[in-house]
Structure 1
Amino acid sequence: MIDPRLNQKLVDLFSYRYRWQSLREIQSKTIPPVLDGKNLLLIAGTASGKTEAVMIPVVNRLLELSAGLKCIYFAPLKSLINDVASRLELILRPFGMVVGKWHGDLTKSEKFSTAKEASILVTTPESVEGIFLSENIDLLSKIEFVIIDEVHAFIDSPRGAQLASLMERIKILSGIDQQRIAMSATVGNPELLMEWLSGSSNRESEIVTDDSKSKRTIEVLTEGEISPAEYLARLLEETDDKILLFSYSRAKAEDFAASAKALGLAIPVHHSSVSKSLRVEIEEEFKRDKKLRAIVATSTLEMGIDIGDIDRVIFLEIPPSAASFLQRAGRAGRKKNKSTISVFIEDPQSLYNLLGILDMLEEGSVELLKPSSFHLPLLGHQLIGLTKTAGSLCKEDLTVLKRAFPFRQIGSADFEIVLDHLVKESFLARRGNAITSGAATAEMIGSGKEKMDFVVLFPGGFDYSVIFNGHEIGKIHPAVLSTSSDDEVSFLLGGRSFLVKEVSPARKTVHVVLGDSGKPPSWFGSSSLMTKEFARAIKSSLAEIKIPDGVVLSQDASQTLLDFIDNHRASSISISLRNSRKSVIIETFAGDMSNIFLSLCIKAVSGIKKISSSWHSVIVKDGIDIDELHEMLLAISRMEENEIKGILSTYLRENPNELKKLYELLGEKLDRFVPQQLLVKYVIHRFFDSLLLKELSEAVMVTDADS
């Protein structure tokens, strides 16, 4: 049943233009609470119709409001912004409303020409931060709606913390309690995400989930029985399938395209180092040209960019995340409510990752999102922005800002320390009883590069632009271009081979011509850290593997997996210690962050320096006796939380390089906005794992015979 509050012209648009005979279930569930004015979290799969579910009631409200920008729509990727804006334009155009886009790939005139006429602006957190610092700040003064697409891609990153704060600053500027709506395909802890979204809002909130289940078949193969390129060739010959292949890395995508080319298959490559224009070209061709039936991509096509109907998804590499796996797998079968997934296993890590995926599929779980509620560096950054916008800090504005999720655990003492630091560093200034912008802030936001560094919270890359026939076709790390010999340098990019003709370090460009050989380049982006939930899922599968319904292992894959489990059998012990040559291995299966934390604890308590960690273990290499290490772990487990935090704080303040390395692992660059003592406190907060400390009390030493 269609909600009678919907404007009949809007109902007619979807009935006639889109030939909708009825609303989907998810739309029927979503429209009433949005019309009721509630904050909403919508959890539904890719291509389930969730964008329309949200936008139908939002547009209904926009028809009742005066002209002007009333809605900010956040999306994590520029390509997704372009795609969403195109889809929204089809809905708004019949009513004479405009959709604006605002991101870094657009010129000033392109942004302004639509934004000043727009009812909805599709953009990124960085762009809104930039608008706050510009003469166009009035664009944000009458916002009624804040919509966040693919919210899981934001929430526990620096961008997510920035976004949560920006929602409060929009509220402060406008004086309006905006209706907040977020959409996601995969969320393990929706209640916490709803808290993050609501912040200072006084509106009622509701979580809506899509209960419909699509049939999914997952076929697992080994590269030993058939290569992925040969497998694709067979599918293209024997079926009519449209196929999307996913690799976890850009190098693997390029490598696959080269293998396919050797078999006579021209497979376009879609990843972040391929230029925007080429990516758009690939998306449009794949959507409209029936002859192009396969493309290979990284996470750039993981989210909801419209590339038409996909029949099958092939995983060349398995991500170390159930959420990412399900997001990518969800690209297939949107029309038939049935999807076919093919997965290749090869190296040990792919087998580990498969075991984690199988366990979490069987349990029906995904990783928990863990946004920080004690983000001291961001507080410093946002106080600078808020002061610049408002002219001075006032108590009422701070009350709203501090209700943003990233600041809810920050006490008044730490707040005052942040404020004093900003004044000392001239980011802020005390003028009588007032706090205003300081000289360092004026200098920082006065130049293009400095302002960009302030607006964009994650570190930028060092990549060079690749120029072919006068046009940028992608980016490449300069390390690929260095060679100790006089040999010509060639590399693969976008599935084609290029030969380097000229390199300009000053301009960060490399001019190329077509080549006939080359290796896939290495990109030096940070890879995802494995969560504790996923690592423990792997351990669970190693102890007792369960094959979920719909998962089919080839004979070779089945034998490979069984052999792997036999050689890596895990016990029920939470934490075990064993000798290995001149080292002691502490096996935890606790994930990357927790094992880094354990390494830090051992260093701080013992002074041992030669320690390394991975997602499954910590290796102590200083020749320590296993009994001595075991006693040390038991002693750490008995410490009070404040005691261990104090030891860690002393260690990090005495070892600033270690502090810097840990902070950079968080993917941030806000350390200049807090004093060292608070940066230390923040880093310890982000890495601290109280449950792991408790598990240390049950650590067991094992012998080779035991294992």
Structure 2
Amino acid sequence: MLHRLETLIQKKVPRIALSATLGDIQEVARILRHDSDLKTRIIESDKYRHDLMLQIKGYVNKDSKLGESPTSFEDISEHLFENLRGKSNLIFANSRRNVEYFATSLREKSESKGVPNEFFPHHGSLSKELREDLEKRLQRHSLPTTAVCTSTLELGIDIGSVHSIAQVDVPGSVSSIRQRLGRSGRRLDEASILRVYVDENEINSRSSLYDKLRMHTLQSVAVVELLKQKWYEPPNKGKFNFSTLVQQVLSLLAQFGGFDAKEAWMLLCLTGPFGSITSAQFAQLLRGLAEKQIIKQTHDGTIVLDLKGERIVNHYSFYAAFQTPEEYRLIYNTKLLGTLPVSNPLKENDFIIFAGRRWKIQAIIEEKKEIILVPSTGGFPRFSGTGFLIHKKIRQEMLNLYLAFPVPKYLDQKARDNFIEGKNYFAKQRLDESPIIQSGKDSEVVIWLGDDAIITLVLIFGYFKVSVSNFGNTIQFQNMTKSEAISVISKIIQGEIPSPEELLSNAKNLAREKYDVLIPNQLLVEQFSENSLAVDDAIDWMKNVVYKPN
């Protein structure tokens, strides 16, 4: 947008970026104006200090029936009600389903106690009117108001300051927690208040390595410790962002009524911020939009909006570039088991973990955002998707916690118990020496890398027909001993590793950003492989397992 403005007025406009969560300030400076020799000035302040009041509360879920909410949710809801009433707060619940659960539970508690309701949901599926009514109520500060929300209130909406922040479920990124925390304690004499509610599953004979290591608790502590160190995730250095390019193409058509394809590519790509997009890719994108009746070409070659494109640009939501991560509905035998945000590319016959069981994917209906499941053998804990791709720095910090770290003072007693239990299991299994353990007839491996590398590993194993299940940063090799799993990995690295395009050839859910659904599949594959896979990290990990198996 800034580049288009400068082109229109034929003048360079100063660009200023402000943020409290930039992880790589030099990279941001490059992105801010990548096509100019103008000097960029970086100003970093170390004078501002702010107090933080923090507690991580731990819970343990009992076994629940299929499709039911975790048993810890009622206890969490009760604590939220007793501690948040009377003031304005934000409760971030990670998924729309959880938002609705807690908003309903807290409203019902208000009704049963005969007090006015102060708790209201806020997520992308609600009408614009309902969302704006809640935002105005928060802005007025006239009534105690707590919004139970997804990432919709994390940034970009001015609601003023709130008393405290509650994070339900394990936090997925440091920068996200910092953004959320920035909503609280904005006055110089006020501390920011953060409550994190973290549940683990009760250990039984079917429990996984992930559960036994109490990963939720250790990940939450890792995020907090990195927050204290002022480390934040760096900007995504992926080359492609076709979703935003689609928005700019449509915006350009709305502005001028039409354009020449070559001139549009020169404006947006050759001299603009989408410099990695080739003319061939741009042409392919335009053809894909035309096939979906978003744009069309007139007899003289001019590109104009088609009927569907006109409806998109005339909708109030068009200029918002971001959206809450899509959640998929999980269906078994026509019954809704629940919903979850999916970060990994999925294919038919893959396995996922949900509601205490392992499931096989029978079909993926992308247009309905539905995944049809059938039961598979084995048992695992419920799936808890956050929609975030976990950075490898968080996993490395988690490893440091397991190796040597005192129990943090900000954990309550149950969180302390879970923290110590996870560390003890890590030491008992000697996971500092080898990441693979035998678990009954299966073997399990823990991986201290980012989700981009773990996604790549799962795709590689699937490509070679190795039966695996992935949960968080663990992978289970089904019906394989530890030595057999190492042997399989050895054979893979001795052969030719498939290309990212081959790995993603049958993936169904590659759409991540707002306008990805309009992008041709080949471009989606190129985008995902460039932005979300880490082939080199995955290969290095496999080599390390084979040549240093202990």
1:268 corresponds to which of 98, 119, 130: 119
> C-alpha displacement at 1:214, in angstroms?
0.1
SS in 2 for 1:368: coil
The equivalent residue for 2:462 is 603
How does 1:462-501 map onto structure 2 within 5 Å? none
1:541-570, CA deviations, whole angstroms, 9 ceiling, x for partnerless residues? 22223566xx52333432232123323458
Counterparts in 2 of 1:462 and 1:546: CA distance versus 1, 3 Å = closer
Instruction: Give the drift of 1:378.
Output: 6.6
Cα deviation 1:226-255 (Å, max 9, x = unaligned): 934444555469xx7554433223333333
Q: Does the CA-based 8 Å contact 2:93-2:148 persist in structure 1?
A: yes
- Whole-angstrom CA distance in 1 between matches of 2:24 and 2:171: 20
Query: What's 1:367 paired with?
Result: 233
> Of residues 260, 270, 280 in structure 2, which corresponds to 1:416?
280
Q: Quote the residue 1:357 is aligned against.
A: 223
Matched, 1:299 2:151: yes
Q: Which ranges in structure 2 are unaligned for 5 or more consecutive residues? A: 61-71, 201-213, 337-367, 369-383
Q: Report the counterpart of residue 227 of structure 1 in structure 2.
A: 75
Residue 270 (structure 2) pairs with residue 402 (structure 1): yes
How far did residue 370 of structure 1 move? 0.9
Residue 532 of structure 2 is aligned to residue 687 of structure 1: yes
Residue in 1 that maps onto 2:50: 214
User: What's the offset of the Cα at 1:630?
Assistant: 2.4
Q: Deviation of residue 168 (structure 1)?
A: 3.0
Tell me if the contact between 1:535 and 1:615 (Cα under 8 Å) persists in the aligned partners.
Answer: no
The verdict on how the C-alpha distance between 1:436 and 1:356 changes in structure 2, with shifts beyond 3 A counting, is farther
Q: Distance in 2 between matches of 1:461 and 1:345?
A: 21
* Paired amino acid for 1:633: I
Distance 1:278 1:309, change over 3 A: same
Determine the C-alpha separation between the residues in 2 that align with 1:633 and 1:204.
49
Between the aligned partners of 1:457 and 1:308, the Cα distance in structure 2 is 22
AA aligned to 1:370 is N
Give the corresponding residue for 1:515. none
How many equivalent residue pairs? 460
Equivalent residue number for residue 448 of structure 2: 589
Give, as a single letter, the amino acid of the residue that structure 2 aligns with 1:262: K
Asked whether the equivalents of residues 395 and 449 of structure 2 are also in contact (C-alpha less than 8 Å), the reply is yes
| Distance in 1 of aligned mates of 2:100 and 2:414 | 26
In 2, Cα distance between equivalents of 1:253 and 1:392: 46
Is the 8 Å Cα contact of residues 318 and 325 (structure 1) preserved in structure 2?
Answer: no
Q: Write the deviation string for residues 38-64 of structure 1: whole angstroms up to 9, x where unpaired.
A: xxxxxxxxxxxxxxxxxxxxxxxxxxx
User: Is contact 2:265-2:279 (8 Å) kept?
Assistant: no
The answer to whether residue 416 in structure 2 is matched with residue 558 in structure 1 is yes
Pick from 664, 671, 679: which aligns with 2:511? 664
Q: Does the C-alpha gap of structure 1 residues 180 and 274 become closer, same or farther in structure 2, counting only changes over 3 Å?
A: same
Please give the alpha-carbon distance, in whole angstroms, between the structure 1 residues aligned to 2:286 and 2:391: 34
Q: Give 3-state SS (helix, strand or coil) of 1:245's partner.
A: strand
Task: Name the structure 1 match of 2:66.
Answer: none
Deviation (angstroms), 1:699: 1.0
Question: What is the correspondence of 1:35-74 to structure 2 with a 5 Å cutoff?
Answer: none
Q: What are the superposed Cα offsets for residues 642-661 of structure 1, whole Å, 9 maximum, x if unpaired?
A: x6454x43454xx4x32x33
Letter in 2 for 1:401: C
Partner residue, 1:16? none
Equivalent in the alignment of 1:247: 93
Taking structure 1 as reference, are residues 535 and 651 closer, same or farther at Cα in structure 2, changes over 3 Å only? Answer: closer
TM-score (structure 1 length as normaliser): 0.54
Q: CA 1:333/1:446 → structure 2, altered by over 3 Å: closer, same or farther? A: closer
CA contact (8 A) 2:444 2:476 kept: yes
Counterpart residue type for residue 425 of structure 2 = N
Please provide the CA RMSD for this pair: 4.6
1:218, CA displacement in angstroms? 0.9
Name the amino acid aligned to 1:601.
Answer: I
Q: Is the 8 A contact 1:244 1:296 kept in 2?
A: yes
- Deviation, 1:597, is 0.8
CA distance in 2, matches of 1:377, 1:423: 15
Provide the residue aligned with 2:346 in structure 1. none
Higher helix share: 1
- State, as a whole percentage, how many aligned pairs show the same letter: 20
* Letter aligned with residue 218 of structure 1: L
- The whole-number CA distance in structure 1 between the counterparts of 2:142 and 2:321 is 41
Task: Tell me the equivalent position of 1:9.
Answer: none
1:326 is displaced (CA, Å) by: 1.9
Say which SS state the counterpart of residue 422 (structure 2) adopts. helix
Which residue is 1:125 aligned to?
A: none
Aligned equivalents of 2:389, 2:82: Cα separation in 1? 35
Decide whether the 8 Å contact of 1:444 with 1:450 is kept in 2: no
Q: 1:592·1:613 contact (CA, 8 Å) conserved in 2?
A: no
The residue aligned with 1:448 is: 311
Higher relative contact order (CA 8 A, sep 6+): 2
SS of 2:15's equivalent in the other structure is strand
Q: Taking structure 1 as reference, are residues 215 and 189 closer, same or farther at Cα in structure 2, changes over 3 Å only?
A: same
Which one-letter code corresponds to 2:453 in the other structure? S
**In structure 2, do the counterparts of structure 1 residues 626 and 527 end up closer, same or farther at CA, with 3 Å as the change threshold?**
same
C-alpha separation between the residues in 2 aligned to 1:312 and 1:536? 29
Deviation at 1:311, TM superposition (A): 3.2
Contact 1:244 1:312 in 2 (8 A): yes
